[in-house]
Amino acid sequence: MNEESFVASLLGRLKDDAVLNRGLLVGPGDDAALLEPNRESVVVTTDLLSDEVDFLADQTAPELIGRKAIAVNLSDLAAMGARPAAVVVSVLLPRGRHGGIAAEKMVEGMLPILRAYRTALAGGDTNSWPGKLAVSVTAFGHVPAKKAFLRRGARPGDRILVTGALGGSIHRRQFTFCPRVPEALFLREKGVVRAAMDISDGLLLDLSRLANASGVGFRLDLERIPIHSDVDLFPPADKCSPLDHALGDGEDFELILAVSPDDAARLLAEQPLAPKKRSGRSAAKRGGASKSFICFCADQGFPPPEGVLLTDIGEFLPRERGFLQTDKAGNTEPLAKISGWEHHF
């Protein structure tokens, strides 16, 4: 397959799809796309995924690779409280290794999640080379002026909340997770989030980045960390504890939220995003997804929510107190290590 035939096939599939062309004045097929003007602030994010770093191409279905490439970008938009608008996708294919078939299958994985989150495919590029597969996606979203979630904004005394449960995503969840877009938009309307970030590189590393951007310290209650049942899939010989995995695995794509103590207490009591049954080992109570959140998702055109728990895992502190942890016995001491995933050049 050559580039012309691949693009022609893709354009044929997109031609009459209202969702995948939503907000586009001119879509794929020209030298550039034209997006419909919007009075809100424009949010732009990009992620580059590559074989042997973000996935193993010889062990992972191309459909899952394509889905993940879109999902991680939508997660970044969620972390900003932004509604997705469009993406552009560039794929660098291994030459002579059925690259065209892989590209088509990746598109098969991209289209359902784009439709689910009402996101247009505005265009992109393809190329081939003798190296490994790489996929780059740039996503565009919008958010009302001065309403975006930022990493800066947490204050001493704010509670640290997280969505969902953490750890073990390497087993499959990194490819199948649901970006917390509806949850972020719902919380944005409530006006309770002071700072936010998604967990891509590990809870400790990403929380430290948020704290540094806000100029604060933090204290984690280790017993409150919600641990996903996927950590049980590690072999018995695994040297890391379930808590270690929850703190440092990364690729969870849940949200870290800084919320005032009063607002946190209300959210935890209401659990407005809660699932119909418990997921993972979170200590939070069971509940049914609130009618208001279900109606919100329906009104916004999102699929029915799977439901997610909010868990209070600690508090933000004055910067000079640093990064602390409190164990099961109530002992508080400095964090021994900030674990997580970092690229090294």
> Phi-psi category of 52—alpha, beta or left, where left has phi over 0 and alpha has psi -120 to 50?
left
Please list the residue range(s) of the chain that carry CATH number 3.90.650.10: 159-334
Residue 113 DSSP class: H
Are 87 and 40 in contact by the 8 Å Cβ rule? The answer is: no
Pairing of strands 323-326, 216-221: parallel
3-state secondary structure of 166: strand
Length of the chain: 345
* pLDDT beyond 70 at 282: no
C-alpha 17/C-alpha 87 separation (Å) is 15
Model confidence over 103-143: pLDDT tens digits?
999 999 999 999 999 999 999 999 999 999 999 999 999 99
Fold of 3-143: 60s Ribosomal Protein L30; Chain: A; (3.30.1330)
3-state secondary structure of 103: helix
**How far is residue 219 from each of residues 81, 197, 216, 261, 309, measured CA to CA in Å?**
25, 17, 10, 14, 21
E-state strands within 201-339 = 216-221, 255-259, 310-318, 323-326, 332-334
Model confidence over 321-334: pLDDT tens digits?
999 999 999 999 99
**How far is residue 93 from each of residues 14, 28, 87, measured CA to CA in Å?**
22, 19, 19
Question: Which residues make Cβ contacts (< 8 Å) with residue 113, sequence separation at least 6?
Answer: 67, 70, 71, 74
For 110-162, the DSSP string reads HHHHHHHTT-EEEEEEEEEESS--EEEEEEEEEE-TT----STT--TT-EEEE
Token pair in block for residue 65: 């690779």
* Residue 287: band (very low, low, confident or very high) from pLDDT cuts 50, 70, 90: very low
Model confidence over 299-316: pLDDT tens digits?
999 999 989 999 999 999
Average pLDDT of the chain is 92
Right CATH number for 159-334 from 3.40.50.10470, 3.30.360.10, 3.40.50.620, 3.90.650.10?
3.90.650.10
Residue 189: per-residue pLDDT: 96
* pLDDT beyond 80 at 35: yes
User: Which of 8-12, 203-207, 218-222, 264-268 is the least confident region?
Assistant: 8-12
Please list the residue range(s) of the chain that carry CATH number 3.30.1330.10: 3-143
What integer is the mean pLDDT of 188-200? 97
Whole-prediction pTM value?
Answer: 0.91
C-alpha 257/C-alpha 136 separation (Å) is 27
H/E element, 47: strand 41-50
* Burial class of residue 313, CB neighbours in 10 A (0-12, 13-18, 19+): buried
C-alpha 65/C-alpha 92 separation (Å) is 13
Token pair in block for residue 281: 């080992």
> Phi-psi category of 242—alpha, beta or left, where left has phi over 0 and alpha has psi -120 to 50?
alpha
* pLDDT beyond 70 at 278: no
